[in-house]
């Protein structure tokens, strides 16, 4: 494992990966299940243009990008999952084959970009994500998506537990309440890794490209 002490080292395209978590219609669109049950999706919608720019810049510098997509069906539902809120049955979100489970407008993986399907909050649980990252030589992950305090935080924690350096991209993640977003960011800062803006990360890549150009 590489010793990566600085932020620039951890964001280096040679061994960093951008994780795009849960940016799907049911979680972002005003017509999705989150909005229909009363969650405020404004922050999620406002975040998407910043995320799409980060994705574009990541592609330009050759950074590995992995998209995480959630689906649920009778094959993955368990009593502890569907009744996790006590008597409230939760079966309306990201059902397999539905519009709600599709990626939100603007989030379009290219043919050579990996999509990992998950069925629980963490993108590492019962998926091949860890194998994919190891196969690509990834040491550090930049985590984005929805919701900051649920799937994004759970995936970030598990990435750290699998010995990846972690950075949460604060303006490319969103929760349905500001306090929940900010609480997760503080938790990551204190215990798990870095919190940075997309601007900081993009600027570090531009500086890296300038150095390479100068060397030529």
pLDDT of residue 53: 98
Kindly give, in sequence order, each residue whose CB lies less than 8 Å from that of residue 130, ignoring residues fewer than 6 positions away: 124, 162
In this prediction the pTM is 0.91
DSSP output for 153-188: HHHHHHHHHTT-EEEEEEEEEE-SSHHHHHHHHHHH
Q: Environment class of residue 57 by beta-carbon count within 10 Å: exposed (0-12), middle (13-18) or buried (19+)?
A: middle
Segment 63-75 mean pLDDT? 92
Q: How far apart are CA 124 and CA 145, in angstroms?
A: 15
Domain ranges for the chain: 7-215
Q: Residue 213: what pLDDT? A: 37
Q: Which CATH superfamily is domain 7-215 in?
A: Isochorismatase-like (3.40.50.850)
What is the pLDDT, as a whole number, of residue 91? 54
- Token digits of residue 209: 């490209």
DSSP state of 203: H
pLDDT in tens, 84-111: 665 555 557 889 889 999 999 999 999 9
26-45: pLDDT as tens digits? 999 999 999 998 999 999 99
């Amino acid at each position: 494992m590489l010793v990566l002490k600085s932020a620039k080292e951890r964001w280096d395209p040679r061994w960093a990966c951008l994780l795009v978590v849960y940016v799907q219609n049911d979680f972002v669109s005003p017509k999705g299940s989150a909005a229909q049950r009363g969650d405020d999706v404004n922050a999620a919608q406002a975040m998407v243009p910043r995320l799409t720019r980060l994705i574009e810049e990541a592609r330009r510098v050759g950074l590995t990008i992995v998209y995480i997509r959630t689906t649920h069906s009778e094959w993955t539902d368990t009593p502890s999952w569907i009744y996790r809120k006590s008597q409230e049955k939760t079966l309306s979100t990201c059902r397999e084959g539905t519009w709600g489970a599709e990626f939100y407008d603007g989030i379009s993986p290219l043919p050579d970009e990996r999509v990992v399907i998950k069925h629980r909050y963490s993108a590492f649980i019962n998926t091949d994500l860890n194998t994919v990252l190891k196969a690509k030589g990834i040491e550090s992950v930049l985590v984005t998506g929805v919701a900051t305090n649920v799937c994004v935080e759970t995936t970030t924690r598990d990435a750290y537990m699998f010995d990846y350096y972690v950075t949460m991209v604060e303006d490319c993640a969103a929760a349905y309440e500001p306090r929940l977003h900010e609480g997760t960011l503080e938790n990551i800062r204190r215990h798990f890794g870095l919190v940075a803006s997309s601007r900081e990360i993009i600027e570090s890549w531009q500086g890296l490209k300038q150095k390479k150009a100068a060397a030529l």
